[in-house]
């Protein structure tokens, strides 16, 4: 199965070193994907986000 993700990745580089990475996924697509994965039996797909 081939998967893909859409969104925006912002990478800040200073003096040749990555200093910041920000990932902004398409959250609507992500939600649909997690719902599909959960429907196939992976309950963790609907687990609460890790916040710490």
Rounded CA separation 1/11 (Å): 28
- Looking at the chain, the whole-number percentage of residues with pLDDT higher than 70 is 92
Provide the Cα torsion 31, 33, 48, 44; round to 10°: 170
CB atoms within 10 A of CB 39: 10
Instruction: Identify the three-state secondary structure at position 10.
Output: strand
Rounded CA separation 33/6 (Å): 12
Rounded CA separation 26/9 (Å): 11
List pLDDT tens digits, range 7-27.
899 999 999 999 999 999 888
Span 22-50, mean pLDDT?
A: 91
């Amino acid at each position: 199965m081939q998967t893909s993700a859409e969104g925006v990745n912002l990478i800040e580089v200073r003096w040749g070193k990555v200093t910041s990475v920000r990932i902004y996924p398409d959250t609507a697509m992500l939600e649909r994907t997690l719902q599909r994965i959960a429907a196939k039996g992976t309950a963790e797909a609907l687990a609460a986000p890790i916040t710490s």
